[in-house]
Amino acid sequence: MPWLQLTLPVSQSEHPRFESALEDAGALSVTLADADAETPDEEAIFEPGVGETPLWQQMVLTALFEGDTDAEWLLSELNTLDGALDWSRSQLEIVEDQDWERAWLDQFQPMRFGQRTWIVPWNHDLPVEALVDDAAVVRLDPGLAFGSGTHPTTALCLQWLDGLADAGQLHDIDVLDFGCGSGILALAALKLGAKHAVGIDNDPQAIIATQDNAERNGLADHIDVYLPGDAPTRTYPVVVANILASALDQLAETISAHVAPGGVLAMSGILKGQEDELLIRYAPWFEGLHIAQQEDWVRISGRRRG
Ligand SMILES: C[S@@+](CC[C@H](N)C(=O)[O-])C[C@H]1O[C@@H](n2cnc3c(N)ncnc32)[C@H](O)[C@@H]1O
């Protein structure tokens, strides 16, 4: 079934009024995107907090209406509902129906990280190179959670895990994935030889996605997933935390307390320029802090003091 789609640039202060009028006019969905997505900054990334709406300074708003909605009628109705707003910048077009949440899956291709870690979409054939015995292959469907492997922060963490495995430091140990999203890092650690993984996330969609992906990979018995308040208080020899710099700052004591003495931690979700503050923040607990960068993103790793 086709839809009538309206797109329009809006500012942060105006957006609630536009959204309210569109909903009153019968919009079936209203979504927002950063108008300046080419410029990486912390606002332009990742997911909003649970229950929050992303509020960039300038946004592009997209509203979908039933396909038989008359475009002229709609504009007149919107002007009646809130005539003080400038509706003249609206672009209206008929778009064909598609599975909006799944459409991107077509673009999602198998990817290799480090020596032998592979992330392969669940609906994709294994590439020939991943058919070797020591390939660590995660079949993935991120669902509504973050973590497909396409983001540099995920890539940096996967490369780190792959390197740990190469150095024999993942074999038969327990791993914590703080901010597990789709479960991609925890599952990769298991495929690389870890014995057991714990995922923690404050988004219920991430808990579901991680459990689904664990099933998909035959690893459901090797992983436990918790909301933050429910997670066991214990330490791990390997901890990975790909969350925003601000959250890494706030959670420094909690995350550090989860790393066993002599254990290792990798953190990402850090934009270039944010690393110095975090290096200082984590220095009381960690030594040998090391930085790696991919595009505009940074990973910090280090060893917990004994
Ligand atoms: C950037 S995603 C990373 C997902 C996946 N680990 C990866 O590397 O692709 C960050 C995840 O951290 C979760 N998160 C953010 N703040 C958190 C917090 N304070 N406690 C637990 N999880 C949090 C988000 O819900 C999200 O799933």
258 CA from centroid of ligand 1 (Å): 16
Residue 4 corresponds to which tokens in the numbers above?
């009538």
Q: Is 199 in the pocket of ligand 1 (CB under 6 A)?
A: no
At 44 the pLDDT is 42
Beta strands in 12-142 (DSSP E): 29-34, 58-66, 91-95, 111-113, 117-121, 136-140
Do 255 and 278 have their domain in common?
yes
Do 195 and 161 have their domain in common?
yes
Do 89 and 125 have their domain in common?
no
Q: Report the C-alpha gap between 3 and 96 in whole angstroms.
A: 6
Neighbouring residues of 180: CB distance < 8 A, sequence distance ≥ 6: 147, 186, 199, 200, 201, 206, 210, 225
pLDDT at 46 over 50: no
Do 17 and 37 have their domain in common?
yes
Q: Report the C-alpha gap between 134 and 197 in whole angstroms.
A: 20
From 40, 67, 95, the end of a domain falls on: 95
199 CA from centroid of ligand 1 (Å): 10
262 CA from centroid of ligand 1 (Å): 25
Q: Is 247 in the pocket of ligand 1 (CB under 6 A)?
A: yes
pLDDT at 303 over 70: yes
Do 111 and 204 have their domain in common?
yes
What confidence category does residue 197 fall into, taking pLDDT thresholds of 50, 70 and 90? very high
- CATH number for the domain harbouring residue 202: 3.40.50.150
Do 136 and 226 have their domain in common?
yes
pLDDT at 175 over 70: yes
61 CA from centroid of ligand 1 (Å): 25
At 105 the pLDDT is 63
Structural domain count of the chain: 2
153 assigned to a ligand binding site: no
Convert the pLDDT of each residue in 58-111 to its tens digit.
888 889 898 899 999 999 999 999 999 999 999 999 887 665 555 556 667 899
Q: Whose CA is nearest to atom 4 of ligand 1?
A: 181
217 assigned to a ligand binding site: no
Q: Is 242 in the pocket of ligand 1 (CB under 6 A)?
A: yes
How many residues in the chain?
A: 306
147 assigned to a ligand binding site: no
3 CA from centroid of ligand 1 (Å): 33
Q: Whose CA is nearest to atom 9 of ligand 1?
A: 147
Owning domain of residue 22:
3-95
Q: Is 146 in the pocket of ligand 1 (CB under 6 A)?
A: yes
Do 119 and 259 have their domain in common?
yes
Convert the pLDDT of each residue in 108-155 to its tens digit.
789 999 999 999 988 888 999 999 989 999 999 866 667 788 889 999
What percentage of the chain reaches a pLDDT higher than 70?
A: 88
Do 42 and 137 have their domain in common?
no
Residue 198 corresponds to which tokens in the numbers above?
């714990």
Beta bridge partners of 66: 3
Q: Is 267 in the pocket of ligand 1 (CB under 6 A)?
A: no
pLDDT at 161 over 60: yes
Do 116 and 34 have their domain in common?
no
Residue environment code for 61-99, b if the CB has 16+ CB neighbours within 10 A, otherwise e: bbbbbeeebeeeebbebbeebbeebebeebebeeeeeee
Q: Report the C-alpha gap between 171 and 157 in whole angstroms.
A: 17
From 76, 95, 114, the end of a domain falls on: 95
Q: Report the C-alpha gap between 5 and 93 in whole angstroms.
A: 5
Do 234 and 277 have their domain in common?
yes
From 43, 78, 95, the end of a domain falls on: 95
